[in-house]
Structure 1
Amino acid sequence: MKKLLLILFVFAVSMNVNAQIETPAPSPFAKMEQKVGLTDVTLEYSRPNMRGRTIFGDLVPYDKVWRTGANARTKITFSDDVAVNGQTLKAGTYAIFTKPGKQSWEVYFYTDYNGGGTPQEWDDSKVAAKVTAEVYPMPMQIETFTMTFDDLTSSSATIGILWSDVYVGVKFDVPTDKAVSASIDKVMKGPSAGDYYAAAVYYLQEGKDINQAKTWIDKAIAMAGDKAPFWQLRQQSLIYAKAGDKKGAIAAAKKSLAAAEAAGNDDYVKMNKDSLKEWGGM
């Protein structure tokens, strides 16, 4: 009996192993990544085929919400805030649902992007943006459901939806000019106090030109003025000491000590006192 059970077990296991045959997905998954201006956009969707079927008005009914593809919900991800028909889509991921019509489609960017198919209960509060897009008839049949990024410019692109003899496009705008303008303004204004401070501390820690570090830390402290924090003043004292300017090191350490005491930072109070004793300032 035990021998018979063992044989049946081995047979069942072998059948299960033999069943592990990999076959092509009927609606293959696709992932597209596109840089639009300075914004990263990622589109993930599955691609069903026509297979001789009538698509719109039959397989995909008119005037009903459609998942826009197959399998899991079609998802689009923006690395920055974008605008769709004057509506702001915050940076993040959205499901794309559509409601096909003969002359136009409703296109929805839905915040609940997990799961497959359309939501069992549609929630209008989860519609981050809604666009009406015109239907353009295609001069040929598109066998496989396709989504594209079309009409790329430095500040916009169009999400294309193609299947059967239909093309629908949804334009979105990205904040390229705002980002570039801000970058230009920052560069043209020159390094910030934080930039000078970071460069000075790096030179100190890496044993590079200490006089250059001294110049940079002085600029950082001057730009901060009376609001120079105790940790920056501490680094200034260390740079001065390394440069052989003991008098300047003591003066900076005393300022750092006073600021640290006012802030209640005992660690910096102790470090400054220890340095002042070492440099003969106390």
Structure 2
Amino acid sequence: MKKLFIMLAVFAGSLSTPQLYAQETPETTKDNDGPNFSKLDVSPMDVALFRGENNEPVARVLYSRPQTRDREIFGKLIPYGEVWRTGANEATEITLYQDMMVGDKTIKKGTYTLFTIPKEKEWTIILNNSTNIWGAYDYHVEKDVARITVPVRKSPVPIDALSMSFAKSNDGANLFIGWDDRYVKVPFKETM
């Protein structure tokens, strides 16, 4: 009987809800010299990097990745015919580690802002000298270094978060920019 009582007590104790405590991060410390960690951004920052033959970096894109979250993206959230930062938060930046051709223009190695003007059937891709800016509020057309127009393509699968990736091409690399149900391909060619 004593064994039965002990077993019932152990069983009853296991039915009670355990108390779990998570470590909380303080927003600030009393003397304000400690860490102030923020929550995860709803449009987290990401990077796409293309490496060449000897594993050296050729091009890199630094961008924030907004999510669709059941929103109508192109033509509504991202209006057609307007300059877009090509992401969220800070404007998207592309760094070229060597001179590259974009369209018929040679672009010197360096960092540029990657703006776009989405339309239903085509996008205008813009490389601009303004850097370290928020959104497209400081966009100035006179600082454009290159503009090309590329066709919009239908994605075979939905793309929930804005995504960018590079793929090797015969004469350089293609930058793919995709979100929702579409994507564009931006060719970057090596200079001769």
| TM, length-normalised to structure 1 | 0.53
Please state how far the C-alpha of 1:75 moved relative to its aligned partner. 0.6
**CA pair 174-22 structure 1, distance change in 2 beyond 3 A:** same
Note if 1:63 corresponds to 2:81: yes
Q: How does 1:8-157 map to 2 (within 5 A)?
A: 20=36, 22-37=38-53, 40-120=58-138, 122-150=139-167, 152-153=168-169, 155-157=171-173
Q: Which amino acid is the alignment partner of residue 130 of structure 2?
A: D
Note if 1:171 corresponds to 2:177: no
Secondary structure at 1:144 match in 2: strand
Contact 1:147 1:162 (8 Å CA) reproduced: yes
Please state how far the C-alpha of 1:174 moved relative to its aligned partner. 1.2
Please state how far the C-alpha of 1:30 moved relative to its aligned partner. 0.8
CA distance in 2: counterparts of 1:90 and 1:138, whole angstroms:
32
Give percent identity, aligned residues only.
34
Q: Which amino acid is the alignment partner of residue 133 of structure 2?
A: G
Please state how far the C-alpha of 1:20 moved relative to its aligned partner. 4.4
Q: 1:160 aligns with which of 176, 181, 192?
A: 176
Please state how far the C-alpha of 1:21 moved relative to its aligned partner. 5.3
Contact 2:49 2:166 (8 Å CA) reproduced: no
In the alignment, structure 1 segments of 5+ residues that lack a partner are 1-11, 179-282
**1:15-38 CA-partner distances (Å, limit 9, x unpaired):** x89x94542111111122222356
Which structure carries more relative contact order (alpha carbon 8 Å, separation 6+)? 2
Secondary structure at 2:152 match in 1: strand
CA distance in 2: counterparts of 1:57 and 1:106, whole angstroms:
15
Please state how far the C-alpha of 1:124 moved relative to its aligned partner. 2.4
**CA pair 78-131 structure 1, distance change in 2 beyond 3 A:** same
Contact 2:49 2:165 (8 Å CA) reproduced: no
CA distance in 1: counterparts of 2:101 and 2:185, whole angstroms:
15
| TM, length-normalised to structure 2 | 0.77
Structure with higher helix content: 1
Number of aligned residues: 163
CA distance in 1: counterparts of 2:99 and 2:38, whole angstroms:
40
Q: Which amino acid is the alignment partner of residue 89 of structure 2?
A: N
Please state how far the C-alpha of 1:55 moved relative to its aligned partner. 0.3
Please state how far the C-alpha of 1:119 moved relative to its aligned partner. 3.3
Secondary structure at 2:169 match in 1: coil
Secondary structure at 2:155 match in 1: strand
In the alignment, structure 2 segments of 5+ residues that lack a partner are 1-27
Please state how far the C-alpha of 1:154 moved relative to its aligned partner. 5.8
**1:151-176 CA-partner distances (Å, limit 9, x unpaired):** x036311111100001111101013x
CA distance in 1: counterparts of 2:156 and 2:50, whole angstroms:
27
**CA pair 133-154 structure 1, distance change in 2 beyond 3 A:** closer
Q: Which amino acid is the alignment partner of residue 98 of structure 1?
A: T
**1:156-202 CA-partner distances (Å, limit 9, x unpaired):** 11111100001111101013xx4xxxxxxxxxxxxxxxxxxxxxxxx
Please state how far the C-alpha of 1:123 moved relative to its aligned partner. 2.5
Please state how far the C-alpha of 1:141 moved relative to its aligned partner. 1.4
CA distance in 2: counterparts of 1:23 and 1:119, whole angstroms:
25
CA distance in 2: counterparts of 1:169 and 1:83, whole angstroms:
14
Secondary structure at 1:71 match in 2: coil
Contact 2:92 2:114 (8 Å CA) reproduced: yes
Aligned-pair Cα RMSD in Å: 2.4
**CA pair 13-119 structure 1, distance change in 2 beyond 3 A:** closer
